[in-house]
Amino acid sequence: MIRIPLTPEMPPKDCADCAFLLDAIGIPYERRTTATGASLWVEPEYHARAARELGAYLRENRRPQKLPVVWPRHPHAMYGVFGYAAVQIAVAWAAVVHLFDKGWRSAGVLDAGFLARGEWWRVLTALTLHGDMLHLLSNLAFGALFGYPAARLFGPGVAWLLILLGGAVAYGIDALLHPLQHHLLGASTAVFTALGLIATYGWRRHLRDWKPWLRNASPLLAGIALLAFTGTGGENTDLLAHLAGFVVGAALGALCARLPMPPPGRTALQWAAGLASLALLSFAWALALR
């Protein structure tokens, strides 16, 4: 007997499907099973027909399997969370004690006239100011909640640089849509930038796989649900700032999903991005306090 070349050591289930076809078309065969799989054998006079029929069956009924989406898992994600918390707490302490005899709150708060005065740095400094202790603690908690998975996807340095830049852009948009007397402060805009970033990045990356539409969209839908649940409560909640942060973060996430992102292990790049974030914030505060 001759083994059919299209059935080399197949999984038992696949071999059973091919055997069923041979039974249906009346070709006698022998099924041989080993430790590595199963195969089908036929007499020489049936070999050509069996190979032809099985080839047509496999072409019509078997699609090439797509590789599963491999998500990056960057190490040291908590470093970014610790850095975020340290910056927020340090600025809060400096504002309370009036470090350098400066009014940190008045120097760093954001309003709609920042562009007219050329004070672009306020979109960054306002992200590190808070109205009270509860406001600070809330942003620390949600910043860790959304910043950690972002750091796992992009790396701690790259993630927080994206969050900082996205939050600044969103804050600028939010300020320009408010009256001049309205003051903006708090890290919540950056927090929701992180949420939009991870939600849309997950959504766009899943679109590369052949799965149902709703399953592909689940990260984005989860992000929108979290935005509605965590970003619309409280008497002094700036809904527009939260929405702007989420939209800007979502745009960044969609863009990053189409770009080659740094793989895990690029420690030097992550440190460079993290230090760039810290340097940008320090420069903004130096301009605000001069």
pLDDT (0 to 100) of residue 273? 96
pLDDT digits over 138-195, tens only?
889 989 988 999 999 899 999 999 999 999 999 999 998 888 788 889 898 999 999 8
Residues 91 and 57 in one domain: no
pLDDT level of residue 261 (50, 70, 90 thresholds): confident
Q: What is the reported pTM?
A: 0.70
Residues 134 and 29 in one domain: no
Residues 125 and 19 in one domain: no
- The per-residue DSSP string of 11-73 comes to -HHHHHHHHHHHHHHT---EEEEETTEEEEEE-HHHHHHHHHHHHHHHHHH-PPPPPPP----
pLDDT level of residue 68 (50, 70, 90 thresholds): very low
For residue 85, which amino acid is it? A
Residues 50 and 184 in one domain: no
147: domain CATH number? Answer: 1.20.1540.10
72 in a structural domain: no
160 in a structural domain: yes
Does residue 230 carry a pLDDT above 60? no
Round to whole Å and give the CA distance between 79 and 71.
20
9: domain CATH number? Answer: 3.30.70
* Cβ 134 vs Cβ 157: under 8 Å: no
Structure tokens at 103: 């009014």
Does residue 71 carry a pLDDT above 70? no
Does residue 101 carry a pLDDT above 60? yes
pLDDT (0 to 100) of residue 9? 64
Count of domains in the chain? 2
Q: Identify the helix (H) or strand (E) that includes residue 30.
A: strand 30-34
Tell me the average pLDDT of the chain: 83
Under 8 Å CB-to-CB from 287, ≥6 apart: which residues? 119, 121
Round to whole Å and give the CA distance between 204 and 219.
9
Among 158, 154, 144, 143, smallest CA distance to 245 is for: 143
Residues 45 and 116 in one domain: no
Which domain does 25 fall in, by range?
A: 2-61
pLDDT (0 to 100) of residue 236? 61
Q: For the ranges 9-13, 48-52, 143-147, which has the lowest average pLDDT?
A: 9-13
pLDDT (0 to 100) of residue 217? 54
pLDDT digits over 122-140, tens only?
999 999 999 889 889 988 9
* Cβ 85 vs Cβ 144: under 8 Å: yes
* Cβ 149 vs Cβ 226: under 8 Å: no
Residues 206 and 235 in one domain: yes
Structure tokens at 171: 């804050």
Residues 53 and 100 in one domain: no
* Cβ 93 vs Cβ 157: under 8 Å: no
CA distances from 245 to 16, 208, 273, 284 (A): 55, 26, 20, 20
Please state the rounded mean pLDDT for residues 256-281.
91
88 in a structural domain: yes
Residues 97 and 54 in one domain: no
Residues 132 and 237 in one domain: yes
Residues 136 and 215 in one domain: yes
Residue holding tokens 């009924």?
Answer: 61
188 in a structural domain: yes
pLDDT (0 to 100) of residue 225? 56
